[in-house]
Amino acid sequence: METKNISSAVIKRLPRYYRYLSELLDEDVERISSNELSRKMHVTASQIRQDLNNFGGFGQQGYGYNVKYLYKEIGKILGLDVVHPMIILGAGNLGQALANYREFEKRGFKLVGIFDINPVLEGITVRGIEIKMIKDLGQFIKENSVEIAILTIPKNKAKEMADILVENGIKAIWNFAHVDLETPENVIVENVHLSESLMTLSYNISKYEQEHKDNE
Amino acid sequence: METKNISSAVIKRLPRYYRYLSELLDEDVERISSNELSRKMHVTASQIRQDLNNFGGFGQQGYGYNVKYLYKEIGKILGLDVVHPMIILGAGNLGQALANYREFEKRGFKLVGIFDINPVLEGITVRGIEIKMIKDLGQFIKENSVEIAILTIPKNKAKEMADILVENGIKAIWNFAHVDLETPENVIVENVHLSESLMTLSYNISKYEQEHKDNE
């Protein structure tokens, strides 16, 4: 399938389409019209038609979209048709929370290791996986073809850990540490900066209140 | 201060400026030039000058920006100069991880309660806060002027909980449940859909590999 010409704006919306299609599949829905999907997703039907037109010749009038086919094709674009071996660095609450997200594994994100720097945690198991020490990290990445590292360690250690990950050939870092990482171009970084999300929330509270006060 | 004319693109970048300024303050830096900030943040100096021009008449040639003043002003815009009482719904790993983020409290996000539906958890304390049951939620929100609810419960319960929160006058929901919530216009929702972030990561891995293969 040709994926090159899909715009980045469409790409950004794909995970949300994927989620809705997954829910439709769970409800055994075989096909859906752009109007129905529009009502569910609160996106205009024309936006949906435009976006999904990128995925070839279906969505005919009177039929709608084949849910299973579309789900599969979008999954391929998102790289969910292959297994991505994954490790967690940082076995604290957040690391453990992520280790227990069963949904990730369903999508091909297979947790194969958990690492920490605290020797007290060595050997303790989380979801059947023994916590290992950082000294074993390099060898483990190579032996297990680890692609993704989830970074849930404090920010003062994050850059150092990122360097070790890069040296050992990691493909991507899912970064929860509250710091911007500098990695070479071939190492993908996706940040989840929770504080920044919470600040956006409080900005929106202030903004709503100010607008509301002005209208009084 | 006039905040109305700041574009939403600038607003989106504010939390990141705020974070960098906070780090500079920790290092006792009093002033910084746009060029230095540019090198640190990997944003062009002209972008920085344009963005920060929104915050009044400083950043003169030969002086640079007053770090403390800028930090404070951006904090005000982001609503961080007031206390936001906050509760967590869902005392699982993720809820506990968020309860333990001390950084939030420094920014005015004060955790005042934790709720769960599992009676086994009732009365257990997390960071000195006793876990309460959902039946007490409504009264608690009103008595404690709770503004923000963090939703870390499974998606099949999230909509129902959101309705209860809205009924009881919550101002904002920070939603970690993997579902889109429908709330009235006066209730702010900020989503952290972790699966979607992970899918974006895997999309970028696939894309990089495809581009790299094409170049061989």
CA distance B18 to chain A (A): 9
Q: Which of A11, A98, A202 sits opposite B80 (nearest CB)?
A: A202
Report the distance separating Cα B101 and Cα A29, nearest Å: 41
B190 SS3 class? strand
Amino acid, res. A176: F
Evaluate if residue B5 carries a pLDDT over 80.
no
**Residue numbers in B near A107 (CB within 8 A):** 195, 198-199
Evaluate if residue B1 carries a pLDDT over 50.
no
Q: Assess A124–B contact: CB distance below 8 Å, yes or no.
A: no
pTM for this structure? 0.91
Query: For testing the chain B interface, which of A147, A190, A198 should be mutated: the one with the most B CBs within 10 Å?
Result: A198
CA torsion angle B209 B213 B214 B216 (round to 10): 140
Q: How far is CA B152 from CA B89, B93, B97, B177, in A?
A: 6, 9, 10, 6
CA distance B58 to chain A (A): 23
Task: Tell me the three-class secondary structure of A158-174, residue by residue.
Answer: HHHHHHHHHHCCCCEEE
Query: For testing the chain B interface, which of A2, A80, A110, A202 should be mutated: the one with the most B CBs within 10 Å?
Result: A202
What average pLDDT does range B46-65 have in this prediction?
76
Residue B102 confidence (pLDDT): 85
Report the distance separating Cα A16 and Cα A97, nearest Å: 22
Per-residue pLDDT reduced to its tens digit, B168-192: 999 999 999 999 999 999 999 999 9
Report the distance separating Cα B214 and Cα B208, nearest Å: 10
B31 SS3 class? strand
Paired sense of beta strands B109-116 and B129-133, if any: parallel
Evaluate if residue B2 carries a pLDDT over 50.
no
- Which residue positions in chain A have pLDDT lower than 50? 1-3
Residue B58 confidence (pLDDT): 58
Report the distance separating Cα A146 and Cα A171, nearest Å: 8
What average pLDDT does range B48-66 have in this prediction?
76
Report the distance separating Cα A208 and Cα B188, nearest Å: 9
For chain B, the average pLDDT equals 91
Residue B60 confidence (pLDDT): 65
Tokens of A86: 């994954």
Q: How far is CA A142 from CA A162, B88, B123, in A?
A: 15, 39, 45
Inspect the interface and report whether the beta carbons of B206 and A78 lie closer than 8 Å: yes
Per-residue pLDDT reduced to its tens digit, B143-159: 999 999 999 999 899 99
Q: Assess A17–B contact: CB distance below 8 Å, yes or no.
A: no
* Interface predicted TM-score (ipTM): 0.91
Among A205-209, B46-50, B58-62, name the one with the lowest average pLDDT: B58-62
Residue A59 confidence (pLDDT): 60
Task: Tell me the three-class secondary structure of A90-154, residue by residue.
Answer: CCCHHHHHHHCCHHHHHCCEEEEEEEECCHHHCCCEECCEEEEEHHHHHHHHHHCCCCEEEECCC
**A55: CB partners within 8 A, 6+ apart:** A1, A70, A73, A74, A77
Residue A135 confidence (pLDDT): 94
Q: Which of B18, B188, B203 sits opposite A79 (nearest CB)?
A: B203
